[in-house]
Amino acid sequence: MKAAVLIQRWYRRYMARLEMRRRYTWNIFQSIEYAGEQDQLQLSSFFSFMLDNYTHLNGNGPDLISQLLDPVVDPWIDRDTCYNLITVPESYNGPRLSFPLSVSDTNALLSAFKEQQTLHARYVLQLLYETKKLLKQMPNIIHLSTSYTKEITICGDLHGRLDDLLLIFYKNGLPSADTPYVFNGDFVDRGKKSVEVVVLLFAYFLLYPDYMHLNRGNHEDHIMNLRYGFTKEVMQKYKTHGREILQLCQDVFSFLPVATVIDGKILIVHGGISDQTDLDFLSSIERHKVKSALRFPRHSLEQLDIGHSSRQTRMRSTDSSLPSSCGSHSRNQRTPNQRKRRCGLSRQERPPSISSSSSSSSSSSSSLCSPRTPSSLSPRPCPSSPSMPYTISVLQVPFLDSFSSVPLPSPPQHEREWKQIVDILWSDPKMQEGCSPNTFRGGGCYFGPDITQRLLLQHGLQLLIRSHECKQDGYELCHDGKVITIFSASNYYEEGSNRGAYIKLGKELVPRFYQYQVSRTTRKPTLTQRVRVAEGSAFRALKEKLFAHRSELMTGFQQYDQNNTGSVSVSEWAQVLESVLRLDLPWRTLRQHLTHLAPDGSVEYRSCFEDMGPGIPLPQVTPNLAETLFRYRTDIEIIFNIIDKDHSGLISIEEFRHTWRLFSAHLGVNIDDRAIDDLARSIDFNKDGSIDFTEFLEAFRVVHKLDKDQQLNVKLDGEKFS
């Protein structure tokens, strides 16, 4: 009996440690994901700001930015017969579609995609064109009834995971009159099969428009697609007609409905709601005008008078608070003692001076990350304690290392419409009362149980179903069961990291959950194996973050290490990491995986970076510039993709200079033109006046030394046996 008790006690401790590892791994993944989204929103805000407020940036700025934010659609695409001008060669052995589509066409698509075949560009364009025509006839909010069918299936984010979509169809049945579906946005990005996913969804939508329903997600957005993979995937699969496909996708995405209501009782939106969400107003807006939720309304930006001001250094210490950019709820600085708990995840709230009022506010709270300003701009002095949006005369606009004061106008009609869509696509629930800006993501808001209850009562609803957040079990309930999050992409962060799920609703409107997990192996890994794999991947990503902020971290450590001993206390080490990275992670718990302890129990902070290094060192790049490139590698790539119109991967030296001008303006830093010219010439390896940007960026990828050692060993083994 005693032995059994000891074994039971040991097992419980073992499972508790395993659960702790699983939770902090999850927090690492989610924090890094949201930090990336915030970077994207801030970059997009900068583009909007530059386009609307500057007539030139060294002669090229807005012209280049307008190619992304206000692209001119080729008139060829709007012609009814544009796709007929593309010939399908006899050698093409993929599916050949005929319109209107039939069941045999969708079956052919399923079979082809299972065999890794690619649909010809001619059929993709025609499919998109027909989808756009049908979507134009759809209202902003789709109303469904369970009286005509036994059950309705609701799926969450797929993110280009074709295997998950095929598994759903296998388990639940193909779309039909007997098996209607609602897919709740985020069909594309991140996964490698986004094209196949949207082709299948649109094909079934054309086949069964009354039984296949598609809501828009925040990734049905051409600016998000630049960062998260859909643009790159299309251009790789369709080198000749990729640009036309992307332009037509942009139109199709903007015509997707933004919400679905079942039996007048259940509201389905991708992200969530805010205290300003009005379903009647949402029904009346022209949704297709919002091509991108990341694109600030032009008129509202023109009203911002950013002029005379003075620069102010951004404080990095954890006990300093920053002015708010979004009324009384901005979280520009987090402190360890102030946390707000969201559904299933705790987040820290900042700044402390305004957190006490957050639960009582009912003002409009939707927001996007404010733009970074070129270094030539400087801010005016601002009030130290911000008040409510639309009741204050000055708005705090934060930049990389400065703040600007701008007069806050009353929102015009088109800005109200834009904010309604931003909130629907980007918001997340939280456990606290009230509505506050979702500054951890950078867009939308956090809405509490009171906001949910108010909207449900106002419109006679009983349940809100949303997606937008990855959940370990594929779904999660909060707000006393009145908000359900559903997420359908399994293994989202790493193999075994999470299950996918979908919901089935019958006439009684009681949700039933079905879980699954795609596996490429016949042998299912144990829980310990899944946690170990996910944990390893999470720490690799976190170490890359440390390496990209090395100089800032070293400066912070050395402020505590006045005697240059190379070590600081654990609390000082954790404080520096949080003040620089702002990821809201349990650094003390993670310490053993990130650094070494000295004999006296202090942290040897240089060991944080010892197992990482640059990809291909370039001697022409100074250490400070190299670290900037590591940190903003994705932003540089996005700017480059704007300039590289034909997506050839090659740009001229002059275009390379333009990339740097935009990039340096985005960061608000001055980069010497001569240094950039020297760098451009040095990486023009064949001296033909063009630069292979892919190779250039590869030099600024963080490489783990363990990977290097493994590659070296493989190479030596190969030479040994050759």
- Same domain as 567, residue 715: no
Answer yes or no: 288 catalytic. Answer: no
- Same domain as 508, residue 432: yes
DSSP, res 523:
S
- Same domain as 259, residue 147: yes
The sign of the CA dihedral 641, 651, 627, 378 is: negative
Of 484, 516, 548, the one marking the end of a domain is 516
Q: Is pLDDT above 80 for 369?
A: no
Contact between 343 and 431 under an 8 Å Cβ cutoff? The reply is: yes
- Same domain as 573, residue 462: no
Residue at 605 is within a domain: yes
Per the model's pLDDT, the better-predicted residue between 419 and 704 turns out to be 419
Token pair of 440 as six digits: 């951890």
pLDDT number for residue 721: 40
Residue at 644 is within a domain: yes
How many C-beta atoms lie closer than 10 Å to residue 466's C-beta? 25
- Same domain as 509, residue 541: no
- Same domain as 647, residue 587: no
Q: Is pLDDT above 90 for 451?
A: yes
Contact between 464 and 24 under an 8 Å Cβ cutoff? The reply is: no
Residue at 617 is within a domain: no
How many C-beta atoms lie closer than 10 Å to residue 216's C-beta? 27
Contact between 432 and 340 under an 8 Å Cβ cutoff? The reply is: yes
78: confidence class by pLDDT, cuts 50, 70, 90 = low
Per the model's pLDDT, the better-predicted residue between 90 and 323 turns out to be 90
- Same domain as 645, residue 562: no
Residue at 42 is within a domain: yes
Peptide bond into 437 cis (omega under 30): no
Please state, in angstroms and rounded to a whole number, the distance separating the CA atoms of residues 607 and 471. 33
Q: Which of 615, 582, 611, 589 is nearest to 696 (CA)?
A: 615
- Same domain as 173, residue 41: no
Contact between 175 and 495 under an 8 Å Cβ cutoff? The reply is: no
- Same domain as 683, residue 652: yes
Q: Is pLDDT above 50 for 577?
A: yes
Enumerate residues 6+ apart whose C-beta is below 8 A from 252. 128, 131, 132, 135, 202
Token pair of 700 as six digits: 């600024």
Please state, in angstroms and rounded to a whole number, the distance separating the CA atoms of residues 573 and 602. 9
Provide the residue type at 501 as one letter: A
Contact between 269 and 466 under an 8 Å Cβ cutoff? The reply is: yes
The pTM of the full predicted model, rounded to 2 decimals, is: 0.78
Q: Is pLDDT above 50 for 48?
A: yes
Q: Is pLDDT above 70 for 249?
A: yes
Phi-psi region of 557 (alpha: psi -120 to 50; beta: other; left: phi over 0): alpha
pLDDT number for residue 66: 54
Residue at 523 is within a domain: no
Of 472, 492, 516, the one marking the end of a domain is 516
Percent of the chain with pLDDT over 90: 43
Residue at 707 is within a domain: yes
Q: Are strands 512-516 and 500-505 parallel, antiparallel or unpaired?
A: antiparallel
CA angle 651, 708, 614 (to 5 degrees): 45
CA atoms within 13 A on the CB side of 465: 31
Token pair of 427 as six digits: 């918001």
Q: Which of 74, 422, 9, 88 is nearest to 250 (CA)?
A: 74
Q: What is the pLDDT of residues 382-415, one digit of tens each?
A: 333 333 333 444 544 443 344 445 555 556 778 8
Q: Length of the chain, please?
A: 722
pLDDT number for residue 75: 55
Of 569, 585, 609, the one marking the end of a domain is 609
Phi-psi region of 168 (alpha: psi -120 to 50; beta: other; left: phi over 0): alpha
Domain tally for the chain?
4
Residue 155's CATH number: 3.60.21.10
698: confidence class by pLDDT, cuts 50, 70, 90 = low
Contact between 499 and 472 under an 8 Å Cβ cutoff? The reply is: yes
Please state, in angstroms and rounded to a whole number, the distance separating the CA atoms of residues 396 and 386. 8
Lowest mean pLDDT among 2-6, 229-233, 644-648: 644-648
Q: In which order are the strands placed within the sheet that holds 512-516? A: 212-214, 181-183, 152-155, 500-505, 512-516
Q: How far is CA 375 from CA 309, 633, 657, in A?
A: 12, 20, 18
How many C-beta atoms lie closer than 10 Å to residue 9's C-beta? 10
Q: What is the pLDDT of residues 103-113, one digit of tens each?
A: 999 999 999 99
- Same domain as 16, residue 160: no
Contact between 482 and 453 under an 8 Å Cβ cutoff? The reply is: yes
Residue 584's CATH number: 1.10.238.10
pLDDT number for residue 311: 32
Residue at 346 is within a domain: no
Please state, in angstroms and rounded to a whole number, the distance separating the CA atoms of residues 264 and 501. 24
Token pair of 493 as six digits: 């962060």
DSSP string, 369-425: PPPP--TT--PPP--SS---TTT-SEEEEE-SS-EEEEE-PPP-HHHHHHHHHHHHH
Per the model's pLDDT, the better-predicted residue between 520 and 355 turns out to be 520
- Same domain as 690, residue 557: no
Per the model's pLDDT, the better-predicted residue between 586 and 671 turns out to be 586
Quick check: helix, strand or coil at residue 428? Answer: strand
pLDDT number for residue 55: 42
Please state, in angstroms and rounded to a whole number, the distance separating the CA atoms of residues 123 and 465. 34
Please state, in angstroms and rounded to a whole number, the distance separating the CA atoms of residues 693 and 25. 33
Across residues 370-377, what is the average pLDDT?
Answer: 40
Instruction: Say what angle helices 194-207 and 162-172 make with each other, to 10 degrees.
Output: 40
Lowest mean pLDDT among 202-216, 317-331, 385-399: 317-331
pLDDT number for residue 645: 62
Catalytic residue among 120, 159, 213, 219: 219
Q: Which domain holds residue 26?
A: 1-69
Residue at 79 is within a domain: no
Q: Which of 488, 467, 311 is nearest to 399 (CA)?
A: 311
Average pLDDT, the chain: 77
- Same domain as 590, residue 556: yes
The sign of the CA dihedral 540, 546, 547, 548 is: positive
pLDDT number for residue 410: 57
Please state, in angstroms and rounded to a whole number, the distance separating the CA atoms of residues 647 and 243. 9
